[in-house]
Chain A
Amino acid sequence: MATYEKHHAWSILLRLFHWMFALSIVFLVVTGFYINNPWTNTMIEGSASFPMATMRFMHYIAAYTFSAAVAIRLFLYIFGNAQERVWDILPISGRNLNNLKMTLLNYSYISDEHDSRLGHNIMAGTSYLITFVIALTMILSGFFMLYPEATFWQGWGVKVFGSQQSARFIHHILMWWFMIFPVIHIYLCIWNDCKGPEGLISSIFTGVKFKHKA
């Protein structure tokens, strides 16, 4: 029987970021679909119901939560602990590139060897970094659409996206990433948890991972 010891991997701030991010995405996707193509029709005037206004309100609250979560992640990429900093997952150093190669081989069942790390493996870390950049684009396009007449957002928005409609189009297409990504993310978390009992899933609640005692 192998012996395991506790390692503190994720700060409370990172766990807060994760759940703010995850929950806001659920709300954003559902309300976003409604805003794009409302599936209800009130039909009666004077019904005192405001489905579109309500959905948009929820979308904006979730959007501010989402933006706050991304701001937290940006802070942690620079000032977080060793596992949370961006240098730990950037596929540029030899050590990280080797981890990326080993992870790919391991995930495709070619090799049983596992370059174990306390933090993210490089494949996961890189996909989170891509998600982070996409999230920034969503925030930029979102605020551009939310404050279309504000000089600040219009100035940036027109330069980056060209027009409101282009921003909306990009916002809508990138939204699909936030539906496709969780499918892979949740699957690989379960897959990893089945393979090695390091407590991967519980670590995002407790911040603690288990490693073999050396």
Chain B
Amino acid sequence: MADTVNKTLDPQLDRRGFLKGCTMAAAALGLSDAMIPKLVEAAATAERPRVIWLHFQECTGCTESLLRASHPDLARLILDIISLDYHETIMAAAGHQAEHNLQETVNNHPFILVVEGAIPTKDGGIYCKIAGKTAMDILAEVAPKASAIIAIGTCAAFGGVQAASPNPTGAVGVQDLVSGKPIINIPGCPPNPIAFLGTVLHYLTFKRLPALDSLNRPLFAYGRRIHDHCERRAHFDEGRFVEQYGDEFHKLGYCLYKVGCKGPETFNSCPAVRFNDVDVWPVSVGHGCVGCSEPNFWDTMTPFYERLPMVKIPGAGIVDNADKIGKTVLGATAAAVGIHAAVGIGKRIITGKKSEE
């Protein structure tokens, strides 16, 4: 029988909040309401899966967004359905005791590994060290023993801002270093906590990971394109655009396409699930999507207020808008054609030769 009256979980998490959290996760996963009791049962079970949460090159924003969710029950639910054996931000242990806990879990128990942050690989990985060990060594030690790996945030999934060109520390995501383990990417800067909760609950309920897309992102959260579910989509189709931030059209809430919104090339659940339980997400408050859940978004989605990245011609030192370069090349081609024709005409005048008849 599920412990829905909550005798073993956090006393501050009441039954209502507990069921609400499970229902939200079920909705995010696209499960029928008939599945909610199963989810509740899985979440309330006494055997809480052990989780090791490793922080590498990151800003802790993913953890922060999880813990500071306006809906306190959500964070509490996540922290209560799992046994968080090692998490540098919130664990009580420190120093050798903390490292001992890590070793104890890694060596003696099955666990789920959550990685937050990219892993620098250049110069032997010296750019990120914890307890005297490089991030690469820690991951190589812990990852092979994990039953599944969840890479939370764009850094752990694809390298994130650390991996942006020229990537001075050689930062990479977990999937570039670990193979032979189920890896699930929950990218975003930060990702929606619901995506994380949904993945964990899915794993607990069905004992397997949810269906993934070709970038190993769970389809329930990253299966749809933002643009196709955006509340401003009608303005796009009818050609009503914000021309610049703060103009009259911006005040009227028109489409942000022309000021560089990357909704058309980004997969995420933001327009449907939204953030912080107050029904907001970037586009709803008037800022275009920056494409934070896509690989290499710091390189391909910038400039954030333009549609396309700049063209870089190495060697020539040219960094410019694709259309400006295109127009220059087209102009040069037309000029070359003109010169070619002029030479032909000139030659004919000089030699006095007619075309063959």
Contacts and interface: CB of A to CB of B under 8 A. Distances in A.
Given A41-B243, A149-B224, A195-B355, A52 B237 contact: yes
A38 B238 CA distance: 11
A163 B249 contact: no
Contacts of B266: 164
B329 to A, nearest CB: 6
Nearest to A168: B265
B20 interface: no
B330 A183 contact: yes
Contacts of A179: 326, 330
Interface stretch (A84-92, A125-133, A169-177): A169-177
A196 B307 contact: no
Contact of B341 (A49, A155, A164, A191): A191
A77 B115 CA distance: 51
Contacts, number: 119
Contact of A176 (B295, B301, B330): B330
A155 B330 contact: no
B322 A172 contact: yes
Interface in A11-25: none
A45 B240 contact: yes
Given A154-B214, A162-B296, A168-B265, A51 B238 contact: yes
Contact of B334 (A47, A165, A168, A183): A183
A53 interface: yes
B38 interface: no
B309 interface: yes
Contacts of A162: 295-296, 300
Interface string B266-309: 11000000000000000000000001001111001100000111
A103 to B, nearest CB: 14
Interface stretch (B47-55, B119-127, B256-264): B256-264
B272 to A, nearest CB: 14
A49 B294 contact: no
Contacts of B295: 162-163
A144 to B, nearest CB: 11
Contacts of B333: 180, 183-184
B144 to A, nearest CB: 27
A71 interface: no
B322 A163 contact: no
A187 interface: yes
A2 B213 CA distance: 67
Contacts of B18: none
Contact of A184 (B249, B311, B337): B337
A49 to B, nearest CB: 7
Contacts of A81: none
B182 interface: no
Contacts of B311: 173
Given A40-B239, A176-B329, A165 B262 contact: yes
Nearest to A157: B214
Interface residues of A, number: 44
Contacts of B258: 37-38
A47 B225 contact: no
Contacts of B308: 36, 165, 168-169, 172
Given A41-B240, A195-B355, A158 B264 contact: no
A148 B341 contact: no
B357 A2 contact: yes
B241 interface: yes
Nearest to A194: B355
Contact of A169 (B215, B297, B309): B309
Contacts of A196: 355-356
B337 A183 contact: yes
A43 B240 contact: yes
B157 to A, nearest CB: 12
B357 A52 contact: no
B203 interface: no
Given A37-B258, A38-B258, A196-B355, A47 B238 contact: yes
A159 interface: yes
A187 B341 contact: yes
A155 B212 CA distance: 12
Interface of A: 1-2, 36-38, 40-43, 45, 47, 49-53, 109, 148-149, 151, 154-155, 158-159, 162-166, 168-169, 172-173, 176, 179-180, 183-184, 187, 191, 194-197
25 contacts: A2-B357, A37-B258, A38-B258, A40-B239, A42-B239, A45-B238, A51-B238, A51-B239, A53-B238, A148-B267, A149-B224, A149-B225, A154-B214, A164-B267, A164-B294, A165-B291, A165-B300, A166-B296, A169-B309, A173-B326, A176-B322, A176-B330, A184-B337, A187-B341, A197-B357
Given A183-B333, A187-B337, 18 more contacts: A2-B357, A41-B240, A41-B243, A42-B239, A43-B249, A47-B238, A50-B237, A52-B238, A52-B239, A109-B347, A148-B225, A163-B300, A165-B262, A165-B297, A165-B301, A180-B329, A183-B330, A197-B357
A-B pairs, 9 with minimum CB distance: A164-B265, A51-B239, A176-B326, A42-B239, A53-B237, A165-B265, A165-B300, A158-B214, A187-B337
